[in-house]
Amino acid sequence: MPLLHKIAGVVVVCAVVLGLVLPGARRGDDGNEARRAGAAEAEPVDAEKAMRPGPGATPAPSAGGASAAPSVSATAPIPAAAPAAAAAKANELGQVPVLMYHRILDKAEQSLDRSTKELYDELTRLAKGGYTPVTATEFASGRIDVPAGRHPVVLTFDDSTPGHFALDANGAPKPNTAVGIIQRVAQENPGFRATATFYLNKDMFGLQGADASTGLQWLRQHGYDLGNHTLTHPNLGGLSAGAVREEVGGLEDEVVKLTGAHTGTLAYPFGVAPEKEEWAREERGRYAFQGMFLAGWRPAPSPFGEEFDRWAIPRVRSEGKIKENDCKKYCSTAWLEYLDQHPQERYTSDGDPRTVTVPRGLQDALDPQYRGMARVY
């Protein structure tokens, strides 16, 4: 096993021992502490990634989330939920799996790889289990539009490697890529939305020039989400403010040049935040994110809950119940089993993006800004 993977594995185990990651522990996570412990992501450093200068700054939108309802008194009664929401046993304060993938290959070669069969099987499991994908940008900003009774899931792919996306001669996604597999699962399972978020580095899927622009535009036009993962994938924890901004801003410049649009969220390389979070969060006129994602150890809290921190959203590594990095308890297979066994802890949609429905007794965990949207049953 490469030395970096061994080091990262030790970090994960230490985090577990310290109690950062306990199945069912839905309250009390300290976002700042999670950011400091973010090195749990065991991504390999990819020496093949080329470095090309960005094209220059482009104004970025302001950061911010979904429009919350007008503020209401904390003592005001919360209206009753719609009968359909109650029948669906909606709980929009439940946990949401944000799954973290790296290379997708016909056959896995390294510890973070997933084979095409493993990806197909996991996505099919999600579809059969009532999950509907939403993008990282939608989730971070609270724009969750999922049919009643279904559960949102966020699919994230780091490092923009060739196995994530490529088009064939007819302009369709190649079937053995992540996008091809997502499209296939969506076709086979009505209710499973074909979308995911791709966290880009400089070498975007191995595409060059016009092909890179065509590919990124295809993804955006077909409902996929583009995210920022820095130019060269450095550990931001050891960089100056200027270096952090050049890594984040340089990638953003490239995306804007190729697509005319900005990314919505940032995923820290190796899960490590810089010394000051604001260096990565926003640079006036260049980039401004809706949320920022860490590495994997637990499902994410609901964006409507008080414990949600859009600047430190946890993810779960996609992997079976293997010994490495304590995946028997803390990777995707284990967490999906846990949520199946504890459905009351899982986010279940009320089917109406204008309301936030929760079982009676949980309303005190709502972020106050969403109280005006709240419904109970």
pLDDT digits (tens, 9 = 90+) for 165-221: 999 999 999 999 999 999 999 999 999 999 999 999 999 999 999 999 999 999 999
pLDDT of 13 higher than 80: no
Q: Identify the residue with better confidence: 296 or 221.
A: 221
Q: What is the mean pLDDT of residues 246-250?
A: 98
| Least confident among 47-56, 240-249, 260-269, 343-352 | 47-56
List CB contacts of 254: < 8 A, sequence separation 6 or more.
Answer: 52, 54, 55, 202, 204, 231
Instruction: Name the residue with tokens 């992540």.
Output: 178
Q: 3-43+83-376: which CATH topology?
A: TIM Barrel (3.20.20)
Residue 294 has a pLDDT of: 97
Which of 103, 81, 111, 140 is CA-nearest to residue 348? Answer: 81
Q: Are 374 and 356 in contact (CB under 8 A)?
A: yes
Does residue 355 register a pLDDT over 70? yes
State the DSSP string of 280-311. HHEETTTEE-SEEEEEESSPBPPTTBTT--TT
d(CA 21, CA 34) in angstroms, rounded, equals: 10
**pLDDT number for residue 69:** 59
Q: Give pLDDT, residue 104.
A: 98
Give how far Cα 120 sits from Cα of 107, 177, 188, 223, Å: 13, 10, 11, 19
Query: With bands split at pLDDT 50, 70 and 90, how would you rate the model's confidence at 47?
Result: very low
- Contacts for 187 with CB less than 8 Å, ≥ 6 apart: none
DSSP code of residue 313: E
Amino acid (1-letter code) at residue 137:
T
What is the distance between the alpha carbons of residues 104 and 117, in angstroms, rounded to a whole number?
9
Residue 152 backbone dihedrals phi, psi, to 5 degrees: -70, 145
The pLDDT assigned to 357 comes to 98
* Per-residue confidence (pLDDT) for residue 296, from 0 to 100: 78
> What band does 325 get if pLDDT is binned at 50, 70 and 90?
confident
Element (H, E) at 245: helix 241-259
What's the rounded Cα separation, in Å, for the pair 10 and 44?
15
Which pLDDT score, from 0 to 100, does residue 76 have?
85
Name the band, by pLDDT with cuts 50, 70 and 90, for residue 75.
confident
- Which of these ranges, 6-15, 88-97, 155-164, has the smallest mean pLDDT? 6-15
Residue 15's pLDDT band, with cuts at 50, 70 and 90, is very low
- Coil, strand or helix at 15: helix
Task: Report which residue type is found at 301.
Answer: P
Percent of the chain with pLDDT over 70: 80
pLDDT averaged over the chain? 86
Helix (H) / strand (E) element for 155: namely strand 151-158
Domain-wise residue ranges, the chain? 3-43+83-376
Q: Is the pLDDT of residue 336 over 50?
A: yes
Residue 134's pLDDT is 98
Residue 6: per-residue pLDDT: 40
The Cα–Cα gap between 271 and 105 comes to: 23
